[in-house]
Structure 1
Amino acid sequence: MNGPAAGSQSIEAFRSVLHQHCGRFDALAHDGRVRGNFRRLSLGDIAAVHVSYDVRRIVRDASDIRKDPGRYFYLIIQRAGRSAMNQAGRESVLRPGDAVLIDAELPSIFVPLDGMCEQMSLHLPHSEARARFRSDLTGGLHFAREEPLSAALQSVLERLVLDGSEASQLVQEGFMTLFGAQLADRRTGRLTSSLVQRALAVIARGHRQAGFGAGDVSEALGVTPRRLQRAFAPLGRTVAREIADARLATARGLLLSGSSVTEAAFDAGYTDLAHFHRAYAKRYGESPGRSRDALGKSA
């Protein structure tokens, strides 16, 4: 699922399209112009927007809420790059595969951390979400990609996007059921172990170093490789896979920010360009060069 090509435009034009697709927000540019684009999606009965953008920050404050109440939640799923999101005193750093639930009736702040970022935003009406899940549902909830149900939720989302407006009620119901189960996990406290969380922090800091591997993670944490792998086993993941995914996400973010293919590969920690090309094509369905060329044509 490739994101919309990000063309260069004035900040005023970007704000106008942002209002049209997502409601009233203010966006601040780095230098007066921004790169970004929006594509509206119909996932059966679920309204969604696929967005890519590189701005200083996006803000929804009390004034925006008065003018455009927006009685719905945004379920925002990070696709590429990283971003920080803050609502109700809760700050989440989203990596590809992470998600956050944002309440349109509360102020929020979005800050890209790696230049261009890509997200999917699903719009869930308050009344339906609270009737289905729980009456006290609110915003600011973060869902890490390592949580047991995250991979399944992503797979069903891919199917919804593929089917578009023809998505069956069964697939839509599957998505909502999985999300409800993820909320239930949050309420009962069945979350990722602290060892896994610490390992992910080490990977986030170190994956761009050439030669960085699972042994470096276990050494940094002071645990044996076997113990570390046992911690990841319930998630169906490995430390090596997490490092590989982090490098791919970083490389894609660099490409979307204008880096050359070679720069993106080496800056993301790759030492073998051929391996990078194969891994990138397998993950994103196109070569890194094609991603870079598409950006150049849209700029």
Structure 2
Amino acid sequence: MRVTLTTATQRPQDRESYWQDVMCQTFLPLNVSVRNSESSESLIGSITAHSIGTLEVATVAANRGLRIVRSRESISRSPRDHFAVALQLDGRSVVAQSGREALLRPGDLVFWDTDHPNVLDSGGPLRFAVYMVPRHSFPLPVRSVHRIRGATIRRDEAIGRLLSPFLTRLATEADSYAASPALDVATLELLAVAAREVTEGGTLSLASHPLLPSVHAFIERNLANPALRPALIAQHFGISTRYLHILFAGQDTTVGAWIRQRRLDACRRTLARPNLATQTIAAIAHQWGFVDAAHFSRTFRTAYGVSPRQWRTANNPVFRHINAK
């Protein structure tokens, strides 16, 4: 469900107090102050909030700088056992938690623990998105929890180049995904990959994600099925197609390109088998999921630089023997 709250509905003299209220209403008890309070420009701020399964997504925008503090007093009055990820969309902010302090530029993100004091401070207009999830739903070992507080990921880091665009789109198009089954689970898995990247100092692990071997095996078993598409694969594994594409992006490829290459490899091997020399090229293409023979021929030539017939003539012993006569 989408909820939008904006100061534009309030009288100018009431906007800052209203803003404090809606920030607390959307997230949790916070101390919110507006920078340059002497400015003649009235505060225009908006919050758009969505729920996607257990994941709460909110986009915050303001035309003035903000200082947002989650203090010990606020925590004692209203604890909330959640993790949060804040993604800077526009403007710049300084964020701090557990002794860490960092400057966030657009595309950068930071992990927060809502039950520990934190601060977000911006000197000018900003827009950011917040993703909140119950701690018990976040797949991160307890021993690593303290290491994630205040940890940042830059947009130009390996995991940031995948995570930042994904989260940006999730926030800006949340209405489109609100009814997507298991999208919250897939998002949490991706955030957990990023969290482990930060807390364990590992390398980008999407390329070796434990789900990928099973996905590859499923594709191999179903190459002959012309209906093999990302949506079918995602449905089989109970994940979103978007998350499936993210897994393959970690391998520097796409789902469609992977399927196409595996089919071409299978056709190439079949064309070289002497016991199948009587099969037509069109039949072999169809056997491995290509519906249109002409399309298969063009795709094969693009991949290998020769036509299927030329490949077969050069690599199948039966045809080599015939040509040798």
TM-score (norm 1): 0.57
Deviation at 1:41, TM superposition (A): 1.2
Distance 1:152 1:161 in 2: 18
The partner residue of 2:25 within 13, 17, 20 is: 20
Deviation at 1:174, TM superposition (A): 2.8
Distance 1:41 1:181 in 2: 23
Residue number in structure 2 paired with 1:181: 193
SS of residue matched to 2:128: strand
SS of residue matched to 1:70: coil
Structure 1 stretch displaced more, 39-48 or 66-75: 39-48
Instruction: Tell me the number of residue pairs that the alignment of Structure 1 and Structure 2 aligns.
Output: 188
Residue number in structure 2 paired with 1:148: 158
* Higher normalized contact order (CA 8 Å, seq sep 6+, divided by chain length): 1
Deviations 1:172-230 (A, max 9, x none): 333222211112222332479xxxxxxxxxxxxxxxxxxxxxxxxxxxxxxxxxxxxxx
Deviation at 1:5, TM superposition (A): 7.2
Are the equivalent residues in 1 in contact too, given 2:55–2:133 (CA < 8 A)?
yes
Rate the CA distance shift 1:4–1:20 in 2: closer, same or farther, 3 A: closer
Is 1:125 the counterpart of 2:138 in the alignment?
no
Is 1:135 the counterpart of 2:142 in the alignment?
yes
Is 1:172 the counterpart of 2:179 in the alignment?
no
Rate the CA distance shift 1:92–1:104 in 2: closer, same or farther, 3 A: same
Deviation at 1:156, TM superposition (A): 3.5
Deviations 1:25-70 (A, max 9, x none): 1111221753311111123431111111223411111111111111
User: What amino acid sits opposite 2:56 in the alignment?
Assistant: A
Are the equivalent residues in 2 in contact too, given 1:39–1:50 (CA < 8 A)?
yes
Distance 1:191 1:90 in 2: 22
Q: Percent identity?
A: 20
Residue number in structure 2 paired with 1:36: 45
Deviations 1:117-148 (A, max 9, x none): 1111111112222xx11113132111111221
Deviation at 1:151, TM superposition (A): 2.7
Rate the CA distance shift 1:103–1:187 in 2: closer, same or farther, 3 A: closer
Rate the CA distance shift 1:78–1:63 in 2: closer, same or farther, 3 A: same
Are the equivalent residues in 1 in contact too, given 2:50–2:175 (CA < 8 A)?
no
Residue number in structure 1 paired with 2:81: 71
SS of residue matched to 2:19: helix
Please list, as runs of the form range in 1=range in 2, the aligned pairs for 1:1-299 lying within 5 A after superposition.
7=8, 10-29=15-34, 30-31=36-37, 34-53=43-62, 54-113=64-123, 115-129=124-138, 132-136=139-143, 137-138=145-146, 139-157=149-167, 158-159=169-170, 161=174, 163-169=176-182, 171-190=183-202
Q: Which has the larger radius of gyration?
A: 2
User: What amino acid sits opposite 2:60 in the alignment?
Assistant: V
Residue number in structure 1 paired with 2:241: none
Rate the CA distance shift 1:166–1:35 in 2: closer, same or farther, 3 A: same
Distance 1:110 1:91 in 2: 10
Residue number in structure 1 paired with 2:298: none
User: What amino acid sits opposite 1:31 in the alignment?
Assistant: S
- RMSD, aligned α-carbons: 2.7
User: What amino acid sits opposite 1:168 in the alignment?
Assistant: P
Q: Which runs of 5+ in 1 are unaligned?
A: 193-233, 237-299
Rate the CA distance shift 1:146–1:191 in 2: closer, same or farther, 3 A: farther
Distance 2:65 2:86 in 1: 17
Q: Which runs of 5+ in 2 are unaligned?
A: 205-249, 253-325
SS of residue matched to 1:166: coil
TM-score (norm 2): 0.52
Distance 1:10 1:20 in 2: 15
User: What amino acid sits opposite 1:177 in the alignment?
Assistant: E
Rate the CA distance shift 1:5–1:118 in 2: closer, same or farther, 3 A: farther
User: What amino acid sits opposite 1:61 in the alignment?
Assistant: S
SS of residue matched to 1:34: coil
User: What amino acid sits opposite 1:22 in the alignment?
Assistant: F
SS of residue matched to 1:10: helix
